[in-house]
């Protein structure tokens, strides 16, 4: 294991502890199309570290050790069908705490409410979570002007949509975005495909101003092509945005915050450096 990462993880019991969950919505969430089974927990069911059947989305805050820290909303992946909330949620929040950042793990609604546009309801949940995070940032030792969003796979697609996709005027946007092996950026999951554009795409609308800074991490042998990350990064740069992209030769998909491969071990260290260089994290 990377020595720096090992030292950070060894210090976690002294500094990282989550607070009680925060409801994303007061009352019934909007645009709900599924019906909760009688007697089922609306917060979902968990098996092998994966959560599904979420009808009442929640945020789990992990405050920073010191005031004025950035705050990162963490969106686990799972194909918009489940939430891989351990290695793409809890473990990520712990690493962010170790870097000096606050974190919020978002348990957005799954499974898919729409087979063709599965991101619609999760985007609603994430935007509302962003509003709550800014309003309560100081409670969690965070700066409300330094609130980012980070996602894996489908959660990376969600992060990209919240940060950049066309939206109604006044829709909340994060101050920065982190996309780790994001899925569904391309029209097809092939290296020679093109970015999804238009109202249902991930590409910013013309005239929306400079996009927020972006950080990408991907593996070249991922089934969701790393070319998608590169293409979105290039487009954001063409609009005047600041981007950083890391692609490892090996690793596949779904490594999260783990020891599975070099990418899984190193990406948070690189993210910490980037957050310092961009001014979101104190040096």
For 81-131, the three-class secondary structure string (H helix, E strand, C coil) is CCECCHHHHHHHHHHHHHHCCEEEEEECCCCCCCCCCCCHHHHHHHHHHHH
DSSP letters for 44-56: -EEETTEEE--SS
Asked whether the bond before 111 is cis by omega within 30 degrees of 0, the reply is yes
Q: d(Cα 93, Cα 116) in Å, to the nearest integer? A: 31
3-state helix, strand, coil in the chain (%, to 5): 30, 20, 50
CA distance 52 to 248: 30
Confidence of residue 231 (pLDDT cuts 50, 70, 90): very high
Q: How far apart are CA 181 and CA 215, in angstroms?
A: 11
Q: State both tokens at 45.
A: 């069911």
Kindly report the length of the chain: 283
- What are the beta bridge partners of residue 46? 51
Q: Which domains does the chain have, with CATH numbers?
A: 3-23+42-277 (3.40.50.1820)
Phi/psi at 271 (5° precision): -65, -40
Distances (CA, A) of 156 to 16, 40, 79, 182: 24, 28, 10, 4
What integer is the mean pLDDT of 71-95? 98
Q: H or E stretch including 160?
A: helix 154-164
DSSP class of 36: P
Q: pLDDT tens for residues 159-196?
A: 999 999 999 989 999 999 999 999 999 999 999 999 99
Could you give the angle at the alpha carbon of 235 between the alpha carbons of 233 and 236, nearest 5°?
Answer: 65
User: What does the alpha-carbon distance between residue 264 and residue 258 come to, in Å, rounded to a whole number?
Assistant: 5
Confidence band for 213, pLDDT divided at 50, 70 and 90: very high
pLDDT at 14: 45
Predicted local confidence at residue 208, as pLDDT: 83
Each residue's pLDDT tens digit, 4-63: 555 555 544 444 689 999 999 999 999 999 999 999 999 999 999 899 999 999 999 999
Residue 248 three-state SS: strand
Q: What percent of the chain has pLDDT over 90?
A: 91
Q: Is 133 within 8 Å of 59 (Cβ atoms)?
A: yes
Mention every residue, 6+ apart, whose C-beta is less than 8 A from residue 12. Answer: 94, 97, 98
pLDDT given for residue 12 in this prediction = 45
Contact 32, 121 (CB under 8 A): yes
| pLDDT in the model for residue 6 | 56
Q: What is the pLDDT of residue 206?
A: 79
93, 74 in Cβ contact below 8 A?
yes
Give the mean pLDDT of the chain.
94
pLDDT in tens, 242-272: 999 999 999 999 999 999 999 999 999 999 9
């Amino acid at each position: 294991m990377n020595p720096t990462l090992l030292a950070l993880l060894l210090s976690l019991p002294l500094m990282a502890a989550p607070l009680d969950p925060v409801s994303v919505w007061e009352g019934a969430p909007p645009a709900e199309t599924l019906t909760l089974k009688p007697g089922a927990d609306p917060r979902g069911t968990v098996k092998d570290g994966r959560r599904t059947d979420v009808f009442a989305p929640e945020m789990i805050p992990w405050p920073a050790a010191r005031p004025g820290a950035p705050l990162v909303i963490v969106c686990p992946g799972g194909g918009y069908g489940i939430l891989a909330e351990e290695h793409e949620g809890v473990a990520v929040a712990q690493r962010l705490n170790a870097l000096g950042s606050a974190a919020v793990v978002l348990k957005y609604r799954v499974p898919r409410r729409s087979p063709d546009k599965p991101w619609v309801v999760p985007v609603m949940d994430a935007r509302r979570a962003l509003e709550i995070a800014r309003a309560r940032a100081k409670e969690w030792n965070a700066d409300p002007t330094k609130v980012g969003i980070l996602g894996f796979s489908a959660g990376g697609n969600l992060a990209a949509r919240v940060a950049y996709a066309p939206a109604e005027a006044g829709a909340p946007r994060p101050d920065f975005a982190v996309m780790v092996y994001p899925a569904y950026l391309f029209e097809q999951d092939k290296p020679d495909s093109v970015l999804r554009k238009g109202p249902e795409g991930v590409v910013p609308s013309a005239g929306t101003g400079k996009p927020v800074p972006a950080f990408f991490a991907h593996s070249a042998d991922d089934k969701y092509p790393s070319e998608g990350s590169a293409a979105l990064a290039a487009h954001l740069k063409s609009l005047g945005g600041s981007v950083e992209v890391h692609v490892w030769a090996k690793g596949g998909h779904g490594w999260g915050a783990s020891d599975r491969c070099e990418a899984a071990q190193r990406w948070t260290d690189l993210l910490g450096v980037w957050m310092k260089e961009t001014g979101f994290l104190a040096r």
